[in-house]
Amino acid sequence: MGCSRALLVLLLMTISQVSYSAENQAQDFTLPSATSKSLIHLSDYSGKVVLLNWWRTSCLWSQQESPRLVALHQKYHDQGLVIIGISDDETATAAQIPSYLNRYGITWPVGLNDQGEFMREVRPLGQGDTPGNYLVSRSGEITYLGLDRNPAASAKLEEAIVRALAQGSSASSAIKPRELPRAPALSLPDLQGKPVNLQSYAGKPLVVNFFNSGSCDWAGAAVSKLSADYTRAGLQVVGVDLMDSDADAKACMAKYKVEYPVLRGNEATQTAWIGSSKGWATFFVTPDGKVLKKVEDSSENGMEGPVFSKYAEYMLANP
């Protein structure tokens, strides 16, 4: 990611911090906690000033920023400041997050990047690099404050926090909890032609993974491990192959020792669930048929493994 960008880009971005972006009304988002089996909801902090800190353990600028954020948190927490960290770590470094938090004395909630609502709705307001900060006012307005990579940027960050703490709030603009949508219909044959529908999985948490031969490696390892680790605990997993030949679908299944049911997908089901022609997406569906989390993007060395297990454990602990 952008922690290693060229010096010229850094200088341009530093200059751009002088002008903040336009304010937008923040919407609720959910992230899995990096340190517990709980979920972090932005709406839980409605009416407070919330600093969303986008950071990464391996980013030198994040390491320099962390002590400054701890000082700000200690100084303004009693006045209503909340900090929520969102880690940009990858699977290979996610295990380092707890020790990083202990090293710097970070006590605020820290979530894992789950490629969900935060990535779709909040991060695009900024430049995507670390460490970047977004400020949510008491009235729920969100502003991208830029990158925090030098003392001048840190001073502007504190000034923005002080201004936001001095502002009032309005009940009409509170950040409301996001309503979970009901999962779309699912009625497809498996690879042997046997019909399967969503009602077959009612009453227990369910993971629905859409994939094809091109995205097999994104899905196969993480979802197959999820099935192996949690099926006995009550988690249900089903795969939906998107228009592959039987040979290609079975090759993916064999590569990752897939033992859960795999259905033959079609364009109508793909569109109803994913909303586009993407060939990869994973949905965590509650026992009563609502979508707790939609993950529709992935990246090399992404966080599917740690994130998927977090949502599985949460659904199993909160039936």
For residue 70, the Cα-to-chain-centroid distance in whole angstroms is 23
Question: 3-class SS at 312?
Answer: helix
CATH architecture of the domain 187-317 equals: 3-Layer(aba) Sandwich (3.40)
CA distance linking residue 259 with residue 253, whole number of Å? 8
- What six digits make up the tokens of 70? 């701890």
Using CA atoms, how far apart are residues 177 and 241, in angstroms rounded to an integer?
33
User: What pLDDT score was predicted for residue 168?
Assistant: 79
Taking residue 276's Cβ as centre, other Cβ atoms within 10 Å add up to 10
Domain ranges of the chain: 2-173, 187-317
pLDDT of residue 59: 97
Residue 257 gets which letter from DSSP?
T
Decide whether 2-173 matches 187-317 in CATH topology: yes
pLDDT at 2: 56
Local mean pLDDT, 10-residue blocks, the chain (319 residues): 44 37 80 95 96 97 97 97 96 94 98 94 91 95 94 95 89 85 96 93 96 84 93 97 91 92 96 93 96 85 88 93
Query: Strand, coil or helix: what is 204?
Result: coil
- Alpha helices by DSSP H, listed for 26-84, are 60-76
Identify the pLDDT of residue 3.
63
Coil, helix or strand for 106? coil
**What pLDDT, on the 0 to 100 scale, is given for residue 172?**
64
Give residue 78's pLDDT. 96
Closest listed residue to residue 166, CA positions, set 248, 88, 1, 49: 49
Q: Which CATH superfamily is domain 2-173 in?
A: Glutaredoxin (3.40.30.10)
How far apart CA 5 and CA 134 sit, in angstroms, is 20
